[in-house]
Amino acid sequence: MLLAACSDKEEKPYVERPAETIYNEAMDSLLARDYFQAAPLFEEVERQHPYSSWATKAQLMAAYSYYQQNKYDDAVIALERFIDLHPASPDVAYAYYLKALSYYEQIVDVGRDQRTTRQALDAFDEVVRRFPDSKYARDARLKIDLANDHLAGKEMEIGRYYLTRGHYLAAINRFRKVVDEYQTTTHVPEALHRLTEAYYSLGLTEEAKKAAAVLGHNFPGSEWYQDSYANLAGGPGAENRESKGWFGRLRNIF
């Protein structure tokens, strides 16, 4: 029994096969969605025939197989190697794009660390910068917007945490970052509203006035503008006292 166990653990003898044969076998596994089988077969192509044209294709397909298995770290390593070895390949744009997707698929909720979100953002930026006219650039731009919105959401969550605990300066820094660095995201109206609230809580009425003015000018129909108006103009019924408060005169600023 011991001898049998030992023999089972022995590596299979090396048998060289034509590159095309191994590659086609790997593609059959890939098409059958057997990615666990496909990846080592694609790697075997390169191992046995490292200087063949099949090896170049196999490197990229191995990375894709890892991506399909959700083995994103392995996919990124394989893609970076492909990019380094074949910078002039017609498939290099796809390699950059798949690398960005490998980071993007790992984005977690705003309550957790956003390192992979930033990595995805940087990777998609590189796709757009290097290949602006490629078929991958359009989707990359869309995902850049989504990644920025996600990062802005993280800043908002932290800012709200500080605001509810009375740490107004810390909250202001977070909300200002959203307004300054993530201007095209969906979080800007709330960030301006929270800035108005934080400044007003500190007694900085002029700063609160500026934040509210920007909110009213750029997002006049926003629920956050209505909330800011209600807070600063005295709550319900404030619309009847508009001329009496400084907030009521914001409409004349722009």
Kindly tell me if the per-residue pLDDT of 6 is higher than 80. no
Lowest mean pLDDT among 43-47, 93-97, 132-136, 245-249: 245-249
**236 pLDDT above the threshold of 50:** no
Per the document, the length of the chain is 254
Instruction: Summarize pLDDT for 35-83 with one digit per residue, the tens.
Output: 999 999 999 988 888 888 898 999 999 999 999 999 999 999 999 999 9
Structure tokens at 105: 């698929």
The whole-angstrom separation of Cα 200 and Cα 198 is 5
DSSP category for residue 10: S
pTM: 0.77
216 — pLDDT class (breaks 50, 70, 90): confident
Cβ-contact 174, 156 below 8 angstroms: yes
* Of the listed ranges 50-59, 218-227, 234-243, the one predicted with least confidence: 234-243
The pair of three-digit structure tokens given for residue 77, joined into one six-digit string: 């390593």
Predicted confidence at residue 231, as pLDDT, reads: 65
The pLDDT assigned to 252 comes to 40
Q: Hey, how many other C-beta atoms are within 10 angstroms of the C-beta on 198? A: 27
Q: What angle do CA 40, 52, 65 make, to 5 degrees?
A: 25
Using pLDDT thresholds of 50, 70 and 90, give the confidence band for residue 225. Answer: low
**Distance (Å) of CA 46 to CA 34, 38, 51, 86, 94:** 19, 13, 8, 14, 20
Q: Judge contact between 69 and 35, C-beta under 8 A.
A: yes
How do residues 147-199 score in pLDDT, each as one tens digit? 999 999 999 999 999 999 999 999 999 999 999 999 899 999 999 999 999 99
Gap between the Cα atoms of 89 and 100, Å rounded = 18
- Read off the pLDDT of each residue in 208-227 and give the average, rounded to a whole number: 81
Output the average pLDDT for the chain.
84
Q: With the CA atoms of 63, 68, 69 and 71 taken in that order, what torsion angle do they form, in degrees rounded to the nearest 10?
A: 50
